[in-house]
């Protein structure tokens, strides 16, 4: 049986490369997370809130990843992990994940900058949320941007009740590694 299996693998590889005489390879890695900021209220270092505050200020979360120097992207997945909750943030829904150009480093201006694209995201419970951001990271690459950045926020900035209503997401320095945001990219290697 083993020789037959090997033959099939070679055949599949030949078919897969039929559109190009040049072989390509893919490699999977998690691009290093470099910046996570909570825009608006002060936040603890382990988590960042998305929602509102006791003073009725909106809290948004911006994540930014270095994609400089990698080959053509074929797949990209953003993972954010909701680790805690306060009040009733669902009342501020829908939640959107905006693709933004945060430049070299995310800052307060990224709270209100015009999104490149915005998409409503189904609210998840506690635990990891994954989003297919392939086309967005490819767009960054096509535009020559060296970072991919995303802004997580509710479309209703506050419910005005003078109480915190927020989801808390793991930050880039969360002591639990699996709680940190990641951008996993598969790209071609020449
Ligand atoms: Ca509130």
Quick check: 106 and 38 in contact, CB under 8 A?
A: no
Q: Residue 6 has what pLDDT?
A: 32
Give the residue among 31, 79, 60, 71 at the shortest CA–CA distance from 185: 31
Q: Residue 111 has what pLDDT?
A: 82
Residues with CB under 5 A from ligand 1 (ion): 52, 159, 161, 163, 165
List b or e across 75-104, with b for residues whose CB sees 16 or more CB atoms inside 10 angstroms: ebbbbbbbbebebebeebeebbbbbbbbee
Integer Rg of the chain from CA: 20
Q: Residue 69 has what pLDDT?
A: 86
Element spanning 85, H or E: strand 73-86
103 — alpha (psi -120 to 50), left (phi > 0) or beta? left
- pTM, two decimal places: 0.79
Compute the distance from residue 149 Cα to the ligand 1 centre, in Å: 26
Compute the distance from residue 54 Cα to the ligand 1 centre, in Å: 6
Compute the distance from residue 155 Cα to the ligand 1 centre, in Å: 13
Taking the domain 24-189, which CATH number applies? 2.60.120
Q: Residue 31 has what pLDDT?
A: 54
Element spanning 181, H or E: none
Tens of pLDDT, residue by residue over 30-76, are 554 444 455 544 444 688 889 998 889 888 888 888 888 888 998 89
Compute the distance from residue 136 Cα to the ligand 1 centre, in Å: 31
Compute the distance from residue 163 Cα to the ligand 1 centre, in Å: 4
Q: Residue 43 has what pLDDT?
A: 46
Q: Residue 154 has what pLDDT?
A: 92
Question: Low-confidence residues of the chain, pLDDT below 50?
Answer: 1-23, 32-36, 40-44
Quick check: 149 and 181 in contact, CB under 8 A?
A: no
Compute the distance from residue 53 Cα to the ligand 1 centre, in Å: 6
Compute the distance from residue 47 Cα to the ligand 1 centre, in Å: 18
Q: Residue 3 has what pLDDT?
A: 36
Strand residues in 146-189 grouped as ranges (E): 147-154, 165-170, 182-189
Compute the distance from residue 173 Cα to the ligand 1 centre, in Å: 26
Q: Residue 70 has what pLDDT?
A: 86
Q: Residue 168 has what pLDDT?
A: 92
Give the residue among 147, 141, 153 at the shortest CA–CA distance from 75: 141
Note the maximum CA span of the chain: 70
Q: Residue 129 has what pLDDT?
A: 93
């Amino acid at each position: 049986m083993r020789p037959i299996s090997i033959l099939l693998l070679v055949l599949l590889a030949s078919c897969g490369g039929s559109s190009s005489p040049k072989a390509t390879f893919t490699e999977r890695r998690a691009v290093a997370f470099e910046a996570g900021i909570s825009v608006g209220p002060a936040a603890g270092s382990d988590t960042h809130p998305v929602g509102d505050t006791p003073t009725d200020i909106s809290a948004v979360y911006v994540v930014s990843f270095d994609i400089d120097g990698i080959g053509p992207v074929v797949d990209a997945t953003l993972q954010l992990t909701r680790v805690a909750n306060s009040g009733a943030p669902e009342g501020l829904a829908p939640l959107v994940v905006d693709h933004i150009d945060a430049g070299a480093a995310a800052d307060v201006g990224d709270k209100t900058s015009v999104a490149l694209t915005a998409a409503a995201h189904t609210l998840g419970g506690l635990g990891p949320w994954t989003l297919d951001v392939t086309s967005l990271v490819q767009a960054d690459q096509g535009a020559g941007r060296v970072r991919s950045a995303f802004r997580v926020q509710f479309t209703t900035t506050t419910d005005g009740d003078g109480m915190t209503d927020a989801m808390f997401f793991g930050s880039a320095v969360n002591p639990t590694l699996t709680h940190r945001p990641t951008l996993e990219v598969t790209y071609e290697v020449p």
